[in-house]
Amino acid sequence: MSTISDPPSGSFQLSMLINDTRYRSYTFQFIALILLIIAFAYLGYNLLSNLQAAGLNISYQFLGEPAGYDINQTLIEYTSQSSHWRASVVGVLNTLLVAFLGCIMATVIGVVVGVLRLSNNWLVRQLMSIYVEIFRNVPVLIWILIIMAVFIAILPQPRDFRGEDATASMVLGSFAFTGRGFYSPAPVFGPGSGVVIAVFFASIAGIFAFRNYAKKALFDRGQLIPTLWPSVAILLIPSILAFYLMGRPITLDLPSLKGFNFQGGIFMRNSLIALWFALSIYTAAFIAENVRAGILAVSKGQTEAAASLGLRPGRIMNLVVLPQALRVIIPPLISQYLNLTKNSSLAIAVGYMDLTGTLGGITLNQTGRAIEAIFLLMLFYLAISLAISAIMNVYNNAVKLKER
Amino acid sequence: MSDTHAQTVAFVRDTMLPEQPPPASEAGVIKWMRENLFKGWFNSILTLLSIYFIYKIVSGAYPWFANGIWNTSSLAECREMLDGMTGACFSVLTERWNQLLFGFKYPTEAYWRPTLAFVLLLVAIAPVLYPKAPRKLLVFTAIYPFLAFWLIWGGTLLTPLLVMVGLIAGYFAFKQFERQSFSMGMLAGLVATVVVIWAGGIFPASMPDLLALQAIPSRDLGGFMLNMILGTVCVSLSLPLGILLALGRQSSMPIIKWICVVFIEFIRGVPLITLLFVANVVLAYFFPPGSNIDLVLRVIIMITMFSSAYIAEVIRGGLAALPRGQYEAGDSLGLDYAQSMRFIILPQALKISIPGIVNVAVGLFKDTTLVSVISMFDLVGMIRGPILASTEWNGVYWELWGFAVFVFFIVCFSISKYSQWLERQLATDHR
């Protein structure tokens, strides 16, 4: 039998490249490769001849030249004399800032809404599903523009805070919500504040050590040590003591009305806040659905098994349901973070200077270096996406069910 | 048994008592409210908070709606009529509805054309969406794209007709050569289509006025119509592309696999807005010198690439969810790759992927609003640009954005409800 089914050796014919499944895949791949090379050559040729016709070339020299435009919200020092490269870095930081703030807020809202959608309170359940459906089914760009319109049309201008007959006032004397943005107190670190901060971080480390000790005591000796209140005490007491011992080195810089605008404090521009809130509530609607699906994915038998072992409801949630639900929730959660980061490029619609606004917006328009600027822009987002998916793969491998 | 207790118990009831009604707190509305609204102090607080919240919203929104004014010609007149009362100025919608729906350049006398195209879209899409609709309608579905193109862009009917004839010729050539092998059939179909279109190109060129509607350049499209066009065209184009990419990514041929992987991961890694920038400023460099591809077509190309990458990932999930036995069954029946994919694998994989595909479609439809960033005047672009910037309507935010929210919500919500319905219809497993 084997002599028959074995292929006849040494008689390779050209027709086997098409008819023989062993060689056919090489033919197809070869054709695909040739077509790909032809396509790239064609596009590259078009590109070169178009550039030549327009008298352009590909060069990244423009990154070193002075940008010549101002950026109204920066995390690092920047003037209009700084280079385009510096402007791009400012943009990158602004992108990361709004993405970071947005991810935190979206997670908080999303988890709360997701849990409330499973609540046994009928009214709350209905309200939450209305929220989720409305925000999921309307483009995020519209939400960004709507929140921006709130700033423009509803919130008071700084001049409304002035004078005897002011129509607006600051909240708690230290926060001002104006149409230009939000002003809040900023901490000022005087001499000696380093000690306070060091003590604060040391006490955070102390909390972890204490919790480990309590866990060890529970597992080794069966001794149950309360952790909540001691943790709070460890967190607060040493820091407060250090604060007063060092003579109150950290003070608050309150925003105050000077001339036509507020001075001092932390200023968050309206465009940043509009983008941040809109991205958060939009993404939170998706996260809520993920959270709900994750909790529902843990079968009821698990809860009942834990209850029959005598665990209290809080512990059932912490020790049995959540660890299993998280395995379902985290992967889509991370991809929502990724979506939020990519959607933050819509900043350009409200004039927030993220990377799309600096490198892909003003720099591109001023220098006319479209190909280079957009190439760098894509590279940045691609790098973030690939980094996040790499992290996700590592996580998925770590938590996946260990089966035989 | 009955006299066991005769000595110990003085009285034994031997008839049933009539049933008592349950206590008032355990029946009807009260029970429902106790269980669903006021179970424990925390739930009660939540309920009261929700009621307060609803009251605030309703008491704020009701006078705004009820005092709404529908027939003025500017915001100043609205304010005058309202005279300090809270009230909406819906007249911006009645006065500018044509701009919101069709854009500000589309000729007024041609509004019936996109409207008719939209109505016909509903007819054409019915047999695709509802398995029970008469199958003969599928013929109309096949004709529809050409008809819609002619209706919206105008020009002579011969152009779309020629493309259609070319595709029909390609189909018959494919049928002719399909028996030899699938790839031969595809090649023959492609050649036949190209030859027919190339050879027939003289007809529309020589008779530009035969059966012609007024030609409308695509930069005149706008408003919600543009969102609808981009959404439908890009979703329908990206489905076949997505299937091909997903199959390519699953392929055992390394070069083809890596081409698909790189394409999909690249597209999924960048925001749509950068791709739209590419369409706006870069893509023109890659076309042959002197060719002038208009912006709408360039945007359609980029959005189609974008959504096909996402659809490919959804379909790959469907392919991966199929048990290996299905692939092996195809092989053991002696089917070749194309046959086993067409008859065994894809029908099942696509069925599994329907919810995901609909999600992508809804997301894509929402993303069509991004074209307003590259200064195309879709619904959002119309609101931000010509309408809010005009002197009459500067400051009418809530009516306009409310309209946009309403329109998008209606479309996207009905699509997702449809997909849930379809999922139930297609569920052939017995649960």
Residue with tokens 């992108």: A95
Confidence of residue B76 (pLDDT cuts 50, 70, 90): confident
Model confidence at B4: pLDDT above 70: no
Chain B contact set for A363 (CB, 8 A)? none
Q: Is the predicted pLDDT of residue B180 greater than 80, yes or no? A: no
Test the A interface: residue of B79, B336, B397 with most A CBs within 10 Å: B397
Q: Which residues, 6+ apart, have CB-to-CB distance to B40 below 8 Å?
A: none
A133 contacts in B (CB within 8 Å)? 409, 413
Gap between the Cα atoms of B261 and B313, Å rounded: 10
Cβ-contact A157, A178 below 8 angstroms: yes
Query: Contact B271/A381, CB-based, under 8 Å?
Result: yes
**Residue B397 Cα, gap to closest chain A Cα (Å):** 7
Tell me which of B35, B59, B83 is where a domain ends.
B59
B282 contacts A146? CB cut-off 8 A: no
Strands (E), B265-353: none
Question: Chain A contacts of B43, Cβ < 8 Å?
Answer: 119-121
Instruction: Measure B368 CA to nearest chain A CA, in Å.
Output: 9
Assess whether pLDDT exceeds 50 at residue B354.
yes
Helices B346-367 & B397-426, crossing angle to 10 degrees?
Answer: 180
Q: Tell whether B397 is covered by a domain.
A: yes
Contacting residues of A for B284, CB less than 8 Å apart: 50
Tell me which chain A residues have a C-beta less than 8 angstroms from the C-beta of B370.
139, 141, 346
Instruction: Work out the mean pLDDT of chain A and round it to a whole number.
Output: 84
Read off the CATH number of the domain in which B353 is found. 1.10.3720.10
Helix (H, G, I), strand (E, B) or coil at A176: strand
* Residue A55 pLDDT: 78
Tell which phi-psi region holds residue A185, choosing left (phi > 0), alpha (psi between -120 and 50) or beta.
beta
Q: Is residue B399 assigned to a domain?
A: yes
User: By C-alpha distance, which of B230, B194, B162 is closest to B411?
Assistant: B230
Please give the pLDDT value at position B271. 92
Q: Which residue of A has its CA nearest to B403?
A: A142
- How near does any CA of chain B get to the CA of A11, in Å? 24
More confident residue, B292 or A311: A311
Contact A70, A304 (CB under 8 A): no
| Interface test with chain A among B51, B64, B286, by most A beta carbons within 10 Å | B286
Half-sphere exposure of A271 (CA within 13 A, CB side): 18
How far is A191 from chain B, CA to nearest CA, in Å? 45
> Residue B212: is its pLDDT beyond 60?
yes
Q: Which of A121, A139, A342 sits opposite B408 (nearest CB)?
A: A139
Question: What pLDDT does residue B303 have?
Answer: 93
**Last residue in a domain, options B59, B77, B105:** B59
Question: Are A137 and B395 in contact (CB < 8 Å)?
Answer: no
Residue A87's φ and ψ, nearest 5 degrees, are -60, -40
Q: What range does the domain containing B52 cover?
A: 24-59
- With beta carbons less than 8 A apart as the criterion, state whether A103 and A337 touch: yes
Domain boundary among A253, A271, A286: A253
In a domain, A209, yes or no: yes
**Which residues in chain A are closer than 8 Å to B416, comparing Cβ atoms?**
137
Mean pLDDT of B420-428: 80
pLDDT-derived band of residue A2, with 50, 70 and 90 as boundaries?
very low
Which structure tokens are listed for A273?
């806040």
Residue B42 belongs to a domain: yes
Which among A374, A384, A386, A389 is the top mutation candidate for probing chain B, defined by the most B β-carbons within 10 Å of its own β-carbon?
A374
Number of domains into which chain A is organized: 2
Nearest to A49 among B37, B289, B405 (CB): B289
Q: Is residue A398 in a domain?
A: no
Chain B residues in contact with A120 (beta carbon < 8 A)? 35-36, 39, 43
Q: Per-residue pLDDT tens for B360-394?
A: 999 999 999 999 988 888 899 888 888 888 888 88
Average model confidence (pLDDT) across chain B: 85
Rounded to 5 degrees, what are φ and ψ at B155? 85, -170
CA B4 remoteness from chain centre: 77
Taking CB atoms and an 8 Å cutoff, what residues of chain A touch B362?
137
Q: Does B7 have pLDDT greater than 70?
A: no
Contact A134 B254 (CB under 8 A): no
- B144 and B124 in contact (C-beta within 8 Å)? yes
**Chosen from A23, A136, A337 to mutate, greatest number of chain B CBs within 10 A:** A136
CA B382, CA B375: separation in Å to the nearest integer?
A: 10
Range of lowest pLDDT (A177-191, B107-121, B333-347, B388-402) = A177-191
Mean pLDDT of A364-377: 86
Are the beta carbons of B37 and A53 separated by less than 8 Å? no
Q: Which of B59, B83, B113 is the last residue of a domain?
A: B59
Rg, C-alpha atoms of chain A: 29
Residue type, B159: T
Q: Which of B234, B229, B231, B259 is nearest to B244 (CA)?
A: B259
**Contact B153/B216 with Cβ under 8 angstroms?**
yes
- Taking the CA of residue A395 and the nearest CA in chain B, the distance in Å comes to 19
Pick from A359, A174, A154: nearest CA to A270: A154
Which residues, at least 6 apart from A159, have a Cβ–Cβ distance to it below 8 Å? A260
Per the CB < 8 A criterion, the answer to whether A181 and A350 are in contact is no
Amino acid (1-letter code) at residue B12: V
Query: Which tokens sit at B294?
Result: 């208009």
Q: Would you give the distance in Å from CA B156 to the centre of its chain?
A: 29
pLDDT above 60 for A9:
no
CB contact under 8 A, B408 and A142: yes
The reply to whether residue A153 touches residue B397, judged by beta carbons under 8 angstroms, is yes
Within a domain: residue A37? Answer: yes
The alpha carbon torsion through B299, B300, B306, B312 (nearest 10 deg) reads: -170
Asked whether residue A348 is domain-assigned, the answer is: no
How does residue A343 score in pLDDT terms, banded at 50, 70 and 90? very high
Kindly determine whether residue A119 and residue B46, on different chains, have CB atoms separated by under 8 Å: yes
Give every CB contact of residue B338 below 8 A, 6+ residues apart in sequence: B181, B182, B183
Write out pLDDT tens, residues A271-311. Answer: 888 899 999 999 999 999 999 999 888 888 998 999 999 98
3-class SS letters over B1-60: CCCCCCCCCCCCCCCCCCCCCCCHHHCHHHHHHHHHCCCHHHHHHHHHHHHHHHHHHHHH
- Of A126, A134, A389, nearest to B268 by C-alpha is A389
**B81-110 burial, b for 16+ CB within 10 Å, e for fewer?**
ebeeeebbbbbbbebbeebbbbbbebeeeb
Range of the structural domain that residue A224 is part of: 186-253
Q: Output the six-digit token pair for A204.
A: 């955070």
Q: A253, A287, A303: which is the final residue of a domain?
A: A253
Nearest to B401 among A49, A120, A146 (CB): A146
Q: Rounded mean pLDDT of B219-232?
A: 89
CA distance B152 to B147: 9
For A21, name the nearest residue in chain B, comparing CA atoms only.
B336
Please indicate, yes or no, if residue B106 is contained in any of the structural domains.
no
Residue B417 C-alpha from the chain's centroid: 12
Residues of A in contact with B384 (CB under 8 A): 145
Residue spans of beta strands (DSSP E) within B350-416: none
Q: Domain boundary at A207, A225, A253, which? A: A253
* Residue of B252, B286, B401 lying closest to A145 (CB–CB): B401
The structural domain count of chain B equals: 2
In sequence order, which residues have a C-beta less than 8 Å from that of residue A242 and are 6 or more positions away?
A195, A196, A199, A200
In a domain, A47, yes or no: yes
Which residues on A lie below 8 Å from B53 (Cβ)?
127
- Residue A29 falls inside a structural domain: yes
- Over residues A54-81, the pLDDT tens digits come to 777 777 888 888 877 888 777 788 887 8
Q: Is residue B91 part of a domain?
A: no
For chain B, the residue count is: 431
Q: Output A317 or A163, whichever has higher pLDDT.
A: A317
User: In which element (H, E) is residue A182 found?
Assistant: strand A181-184
Q: What is residue B262's predicted lDDT score, i.e. its pLDDT?
A: 92
Q: Least CA distance to B380: which residue of chain A?
A: A142
**How far, in Å, CA of B427 to CA of B128, rounded?**
17
Cα angle for residues A145, A147, A153 (degrees, 5° grid)? 95
Q: Are B236 and B176 in contact (CB under 8 A)?
A: no
Residue A221 falls within a domain, yes or no?
A: yes
For the complex shown, is ipTM > 0.95? Answer: no
Angle between the N-to-C axes of helices A322-343 and A270-297, in degrees from 0 to 180, rounded to the nearest 10? 150
- On whether residue A205 sits in a domain, the answer given is yes
